[in-house]
Amino acid sequence: MNQKDHRAQPLLNLMQELLDDASLALGQYRSLITTALVQLSRNSGLYPERYGDVYEGNLGGRIVAVKMMRGCGYGRDPAMLMKAFSKEAVLWAQLSSPYVLQFYGIYAIANPSPRLGLVSPWMKNGNLTEYLNESPRMDRLSLMTDIAFGLDYLHSFDPPVIHGDLKGPNILITDEHRACVADFGLCLLVQNSALQITMTSSSNAQGSLFWMAPELFNDNEDCARKNFATDVYAFGCVCYEIFNGKPPFFDLRPCQARISIKESRPLPRPVHPDLDDTIWTLILQCLHGDPGTRPSMDEVRQQLSLRHNR
């Protein structure tokens, strides 16, 4: 229960896989494993990786990425798995924007146990977090603008789409060194609206601590539901990450970070020559503790477009 970071993640994954394996008769151990899983997740600030093995593949001569799902159907009939994810795949296939990762299709494996893979373009430059570490001289304003265009595209889609887990690892860098929003592994209809769709990350359906809006820590279920404003907050965290190298409060322990986020404590301004007063003010607006005060992604996109002369 005291494990953190790289020591906690494999334990969380193992416990989740045990709970997901329909072929195991866990009996009384199911409740014990569930309790341990919840406690370790709370202590570490991490969540089980539902699926996340990314393989390099070949599709008609093109190099592609195949992201295999974990823990979501072991022991089930492949046809049932395909049916369960068909509507998610169909929705993703409708999205068409240079700022959103393209979806090629589903790859199914029957043996030794049924698994599904999501096929998309291979991004040799990796994700935003990796790119920030390896390419310190990149155009940060351009990356911010790309991400704003991608998120605004989702919010403007018919029906509107809420990403639900925007963060550095879920933003990929193209061969042209542009950013595109990614990780649409699971898609879920929001309960109170047939016109609003939440696409949550394949690696963490409940969100990621350091990119979560303060209201998501509210005990009130209605307040803790992801929406456009929580996406905007996550965008602000990503922008902070672009200039700081790490998201807000990343240097704190998970329990301390959770309190700091919930209380909307002030953040130190990153020291970077590309971060001027206008951009810093926009980031702070996105990170505002009051969801109603945050700008819409359309407003953010327009401001960044003017700065970037698009």
* Residues recognised as catalytic: 165
User: Could you count the other beta carbons within 10 Å of the beta carbon of residue 264?
Assistant: 13
Tokens of 77: 């009939």
Cα dihedral 110→182→164→158 (10° resolution): -100
Q: Across the chain, where does the E strand assignment appear?
A: 53-59, 62-68, 105-109, 115-121, 161-162, 171-173, 179-181, 186-189, 197-200
3-state SS assignment for residue 106: strand
User: Could you count the other beta carbons within 10 Å of the beta carbon of residue 177?
Assistant: 14
| E strand or H helix that includes residue 228 | helix 228-244
Q: 18, 75 in Cβ contact below 8 A?
A: no
> What b/e readout covers 283-298, taking b as 16+ CB neighbours within 10 angstroms?
bebbbbeebeebbebe
Instruction: Give phi and psi for 88, each to the nearest 5.
Output: -65, -45
- For 102, 240, 290, 302, the CA distances from 94, given in Å and listed in that order, are 10, 30, 33, 24
